[in-house]
Amino acid sequence: MRHVRRRVHRLARLAAACGLVCGGVMVSSAMASENSGRTTAAPAGVSGASASSDPSALGTRMVSRLGTSRTAGSWIGSDGRPVVAVTDTEAADEVRRAGARAKVVAHSMDRLRSATETLSAAPRVPGTAWALDYASNKVVVHADSTVSAAGWSRLSGIAKGIGGYVETERTRGAFTTRVNGAAPIFAANGRCSAGFNVTDGRDDFVLTAGHCGPVGTTWFQDGQGAAPVGTTVAGTFPGSDFSLVRYETAGSGTRGGPGVVDIGGGRAVRIIGAADPGVGQQVFRSGSTTGLHSGKVTALNATVNYPEGTVTGLIETDVCAEPGDSGGPLIAQGLALGVTSGGNGDCRSGGTTFFQPATKALEALGVKLADPASGTGAGDDDTAAARGQSPAGAAAVPPAVPESPGLTGSPGAQGSAGGPASLSEIVNSRTLAPGLAVIAVSLLALLATHWIRTSQDRRRFRSSYSQNWG
């Protein structure tokens, strides 16, 4: 009987030891995956990025391969894995073989886009917005508090006529542009935030929101107009929401390290490229009013009917913003994703904020992010995500943004001796949880077997002692 117990104990210890090894491997793999996500260029593919290590890129690649008639978007699941919505089981099998999760849905991307085209063709109702909700396979239409009963009835009727996959809902507050950081820039009609430093190879510019001011608007670093920044020389609003402010002094956009974004409190983070985000991705927004805030991308290609006009192709997020944050940068993993357009709510109660994608603005304006290393353009590679992006620069109006001491308790990476810190995403605890759980159970098993063995040894010793000396 004693030999049987010893054998059981040995097997238990062996199983616990194997569990520790397996748990360690699982944690190491999860950490490697997270680190890969931080150092690769971007969700939509920036130069040097590895699609196999980037969940968002894998989902995008599968959607591109299968086509919009067999898919309905992709997103990052709560476990950090890419999820692709597909319309048939064969497509689902192909997605799984590629390493992503598949969700079979009823409506293709073509059908969802057809619904948004119908909504866009209807008479415009200011205070409304819509976007594709990939996870629910629906088009979600929002109406803010400014929409009248008649307008709401008309919009609901259009949605009902399209089909049950178009969902309508009321939302708090009002969808407004955020005029009225990243560093603040001032004009006669209000205040905005600088987005990213860019260049066309000859002149230096600030990329910011188009609604901040029309061509010819003069910007200053202070509200008194004593320190000029530059003048708006190009822009689009409505339709899109971006503009270029040419620096007053040549070289202002590259002096002091252009490849950084001011996040408040004398801190800054380095920008290494530009990309398009993925649904479910964690992102960070900085603005001159509210500073740094984080959240997730909730939808892409959103349409918003601001009072001033309709803007399409926006990034929808649950990050908060307030007046004055307009034009400020949206960033993640050291990448430029967009500039703040508008939304509703505030940073006390929360809300929805929309962003103009940076890649589309850069391509339309014919500029590149400034190179943080050389203080020049980012090279001949275009900054559109699909075409790759060299290490890039970002927002700060002169004087130069102070060197970052590093971020603690938030998405920061370590500061560097050579310049501002690099902003990385927080390690996803969900990806580490399985490995940590295996390690914890294995340690408990080892402790339990050790305690049992020790207890049995003590009992045998007492029994032997009592027989010899009793």
Q: What are 286's strand-pairing partners?
A: 292
**Contact by Cβ (8 Å): 275, 359:** yes
Q: What's the rounded Cα separation, in Å, for the pair 283 and 439?
A: 31
Number of H helices and E strands in the chain, helices first, is: 7, 25
> Number of C-alpha atoms within 13 angstroms, CB side, residue 469?
6
- Active-site residue, from 211, 240, 325, 442: 211
- Known active-site residue 33: no
Q: What's the rounded Cα separation, in Å, for the pair 388 and 4?
A: 64
- Active-site residue, from 133, 144, 204, 241: 241
Q: What's the rounded Cα separation, in Å, for the pair 16 and 19?
A: 5
**Contact by Cβ (8 Å): 334, 273:** yes
Q: What's the rounded Cα separation, in Å, for the pair 290 and 322?
A: 7
Q: What's the rounded Cα separation, in Å, for the pair 182 and 173?
A: 25
Whether cis (ω within 30° of 0) applies to the bond prior to 357 is no
Q: What's the rounded Cα separation, in Å, for the pair 342 and 321?
A: 8
- Active-site residue, from 108, 326, 404, 422: 326
- Known active-site residue 346: no
Q: What is the DSSP string of 83-137?
A: EEEESSHHHHHHHHHTT-EEEE-SS-HHHHHHHHHHHHHSPP-TTEEEEEETTTT
Distances (CA, A) of 325 to 151, 195, 221, 292: 29, 10, 15, 10
Phi, psi of 183 (to 5 degrees): -80, 145
DSSP 443: H
Q: What's the rounded Cα separation, in Å, for the pair 124 and 39?
A: 43
Cβ-based neighbours of 166, under 8 Å, separated by 6 or more: 115, 119, 138, 139, 141, 159, 160
Cβ-based neighbours of 327, under 8 Å, separated by 6 or more: 182, 185, 192, 193, 194, 195, 208, 209, 212, 339, 340
- Known active-site residue 326: yes
Active site residues: 211, 241, 326
